[in-house]
Amino acid sequence: MNQAIKERDYFTDHDVLLDPYAYFEEMRPRGPVCQLETHDCLLVTGFDECVEVLRNPTDFSSLNSLASSAFPLPFTPEGSDISAQLEQNRDKYIGGDMVVTYDDTRHTNIRALISLMFTPSRLKANEAFMREYAEKMVSDVVARGRCELVHEIATPYVTMVIADLMGVPAEDRSVFEEKIAEGQTVGSIDDPDSPTDMSAVLFIAEYMGRYLQERAAKPGADLLSELATASYPDGTKPDLIELISLATFMFAAGQDTSAKLLANAMRYVVDEPGLQQQLREDRKLIPFLLEEVLRLEGSSKATHRLARRDTTIGDTKVPAGTQVIVALAAANRDPRRWGEDANEFKLKRPGIKQHIGFGRGSHTCAGAPLARAEVATMFNTFFDRTDNIEISASHHGAKGARRYEFEPSFIIRGMDNLHLELQAKN
Amino acid sequence: MAHIYLTDTEGREATIDIIAGNSLMQTITDAGFDDLLAICGGMCSCATCHVYIDEGQLAQLSQMNEDEQELLSLSDYQQDNSRLSCQLRMSDALDGLRVTIAPAD
């Protein structure tokens, strides 16, 4: 007898956390756009449909992108266009004063400032620092023969790189590192009433305010100076509060996601047959590795949107006021887009650059070029300093039966820890 | 209202209103033209928002920086009138700009 599978709760179920992909495959037969039973929102698992939502900022607001679709609207939507109601209620949304939730001109203005931040020439100028710092961190752990990649390498590394780029004074960097380490994850599944804690963000914002005022008075060559002296496209100057919010977000946003990407990628490098050797012999393949890992195990599982006008996704009618889970991780494994081997790792997969691991459209992750540079630098450094890297069987079990712990977040896909054994270069 | 004339990769033509301050990339993608991939979202990092500008109008645009020049040089479809649309800010002065979406690499 057929028994209907009970729908699991994406926002709180620990089994979904361990394997979100199995959950998305359970949901996929319900269609690329389906209504959840557990929450009053739509789940979009289709690649084309996710891209359609992300590229339609006219009809879909980003106001709930951090708060998520798990909560009911804090007002009753009225009519076919609720844009004004959304703005009236912006202060009720977590992160409603951060760029990730902005819409329209306010967002365009801030993105114009961000677009200067991680250009290829700026990253190139920072290459020497990124490389030297990676060398130092990796040589220390290789000498020991092992490391816990997430906390000993990945997280402090990305904090130091963004701090250097922005021009955060050296003496304050460890303070930030500690504060970020203390903080709760974003989108915690263990705290359903208040899944995102902003205390670390508020702490950092105080420092950013001071730096920005100092740089406005005496600009240097760093990103904070550039922000402090920047203008919007129409020539007007951003106010200080807006700049503090932006600088804080840029500093804090990339921490977890970039760090998790390194760990997610390392799992494949070690466990995918022959891959480690192939990459060691041809470093030009590292960017292809990263793109395929971003597709299969991107650091953000989902983002959220809120229909502010009556609209459609594919053939599905979507009334104003509907919340939408844009399941990036599901879209990136949609067999209609990627073929029947969508769940498998395949280096140089055709069309790989079109994955939406970093999102798509006007809110595409601005730090993506930096994250790619950081993780590629780390892999090059590890390969230079070691002859072999293994995942610790005593911590994670034998190959084929690994056990991992994941950050308890419905937004982030990332391991809590990854213990490695490192064989130094002969 | 000021507007641009757009031709997509399949030769379809459209007239799109300009919103001053938006990038040309945003102008095209917000109008629903999917063949401008614009993967990096305007960070001058991917070269998937490559367009051709009517040659007679090139001088009206801002100068290319080194990053844009380098990214375009990697495209198989680079022409003398190539630009990355994420690098171009729209203003009413660009009324009548003729733009063609370049083939994807």
- Please answer yes or no on whether A353 and B48 come within 8 Å at the CB atom: yes
The answer to whether position A239 is within a domain reads yes
How many distinct structural domains can be found in chain A? 1
Contacts for B5 with CB less than 8 Å, ≥ 6 apart: B13, B14, B15, B96, B97, B98, B99
* Mutation choice for A interface testing from B24, B29, B40, B86 by most A CBs within 10 A: B40
Question: Chains A, B: CB contacts under 8 A, how many?
Answer: 73
Write B31-37 long-range contacts (CB < 8 A, 24+). B31/B6, B32/A55, B32/A56, B33/B6, B33/B8, B33/B101, B34/A51, B34/A55, B35/B8, B35/B9, B35/B10, B35/B101, B35/B104, B36/B8, B36/B85, B36/B101, B37/A354, B37/B104
Indicate yes or no: CB of A368 within 8 angstroms of CB of B34.
Answer: no
Q: Which of B43, B66, B89 sits opposite A369 (nearest CB)?
A: B43
Which of A100, A105, A111, A113 would best serve as a mutation to test chain B binding (most B beta carbons within 10 A)?
A111
CB contact under 8 A, A108 and B41: no
Q: Which residue has the tokens 């495959």?
A: A25
As a whole number of angstroms, the distance between CA B30 and CA A12 comes to 35
| Nearest-angstrom CA–CA distance, A153 and A64 | 32
- Cα-trace Rg, chain A: 22
Q: Are B46 and A105 a contacting pair at CB < 8 A?
A: no
Closest-CA residue of B relative to A108 is B22
* Residue ranges making up the domain that contains A56: 14-424
Phi, psi of A311 (to 5 degrees): -155, -165
Q: Which residues, 6 or more positions from B104, have their beta carbon under 8 angstroms from its beta carbon?
A: B9, B35, B37, B48
Q: Is residue A5 part of a domain?
A: no
**Beta carbons of A147 and A389 less than 8 angstroms apart:** no
Regions of chain A short of the pLDDT cut 70: 1-4, 183-184, 254
Helix (H) or strand (E) holding B101: strand B98-101
Q: What is the pLDDT of residue A302?
A: 97
pLDDT tens, A266-296?
999 999 999 999 999 999 999 999 999 999 9
Residues of A in Cβ contact (< 8 Å) with B26: 108, 362
Crossing angle, helix A286-297 and helix A240-271, to 10 degrees?
Answer: 100
Q: Which member of A234, A353, A362 has the closest CB to residue B41? A: A362
Distance CA(A247)–CA(A243), nearest Å, equals 6
| Interchain proximity A118–B45, CB inside 8 Å | yes
End-to-end CA distance of chain B: 34
Q: Pairing state of beta strands A311-313 and A316-318?
A: antiparallel
- CATH value at residue A177: 1.10.630.10
CA dist A381 and A289 (Å) reads: 16
Please report residues of A whose CB lies closer than 8 A to that of B37: 354
Measured in whole angstroms, how far is the alpha carbon of residue A380 from the centre of its chain?
Answer: 22
Placement of tokens 């938006």 in the chain:
B22
- B3 closest CA partner among B94, B102, B105: B94
Show Cβ contacts of residue A50 under 8 Å, excluding neighbours closer than 6 positions.
Answer: A44, A326, A327, A328, A330, A331, A356, A360
Q: Is residue A233 part of a domain?
A: yes
Distance CA A171, CA B1 (A): 53
pLDDT (0 to 100) of residue A4: 60
Q: Which residues contact A322 (CB under 8 A, 6 or more apart)?
A: A41, A42, A306, A307
Average pLDDT over residues B8-24: 96
What are the residues of chain B with a beta carbon less than 8 Å away from any beta carbon of chain A?
20-23, 26, 29-30, 32, 34, 37-46, 48, 65-67, 70-71, 86, 89
**DSSP code of residue A250:** H
Record: contact B39-A232, CB cut-off 8 A = no
Q: Give the end-to-end CA distance of chain A in Å, rounded to a whole number.
A: 62
Taking CA–CA distances from A231, the nearest residue in chain B reads B21
Residue A8 belongs to some domain of the structure: no
B86 within 8 A of B17, measured Cβ to Cβ? no
Q: Which long-range contacts (CB under 8 A, 24 or more apart) does A252-255 make?
A: A252/A180, A252/A200, A252/A201, A252/A204, A253/A100, A253/A367, A254/A158, A254/A162, A254/A367, A254/A370, A254/A371, A255/A155, A255/A158, A255/A159, A255/A162, A255/A180
Rounded Cα gap, residues A229 and A65, in angstroms: 29
Of B21, B30, B44, the CB nearest to A119: B44
Residue A60 domain flag: yes
CATH number of B3-101, picked from 3.10.20.30, 3.40.228.10, 3.20.20.140, 3.40.190.80: 3.10.20.30
Residue A3 resides in a domain: no
C-alpha separations of A406 from A201, A357, A371, A421 in Å: 22, 18, 20, 20
Question: Considering only CB atoms, which chain B residues are within 8 Å of A360?
Answer: 39, 41
- The position carrying tokens 């003729």 is B98
Residues of chain A positioned with their CB less than 8 A from the CB of B32: 55-56
Instruction: Assess whether pLDDT exceeds 60 at residue B47.
Output: yes
For residue A298, give both structure tokens.
């991107």
Mark yes or no for CB contact B45/A119 under 8 Å. yes
Chain A residues at the B interface, defined by Cβ less than 8 Å, are 51, 55-58, 105, 108-109, 111-112, 114-115, 118-121, 232-234, 353-354, 358-366, 368-369
**Residue spans per domain, chain B:** 3-101
Structure token digits, residue B62: 């801002």
Which residues from A are below 8 Å from B70, CB to CB?
120
Mean pLDDT value of segment B35-59:
96
Give the Cα separation of A312 and A334 in Å (integer): 20
Contacts of A354 in chain B (CB under 8 A): 37, 39
- Quote the pLDDT of residue A187: 80
Decide if A120 and B70 are in contact by the 8 Å CB cutoff. Answer: yes
- Sign of torsion over alpha carbons A306, A309, A313, A319: positive
The whole-angstrom distance between residue A253's C-alpha and the CA centroid of its chain comes to 8
Exposure of A361 in the CB half-sphere (CA atoms within 13 A): 28
For A371, phi then psi, to 5°, come to -60, -45
Question: Residue A111 and residue B42: Cβ atoms within 8 Å?
Answer: yes
Judged by DSSP in three states, A331 sits in helix
> Which residue, among A101, A47, A42, has the nearest Cα to A69 in the 3D structure?
A42
pLDDT of A197 reads 76
Mutate which: B45, B64, B87, B92, vs A, most A CBs within 10 A: B45
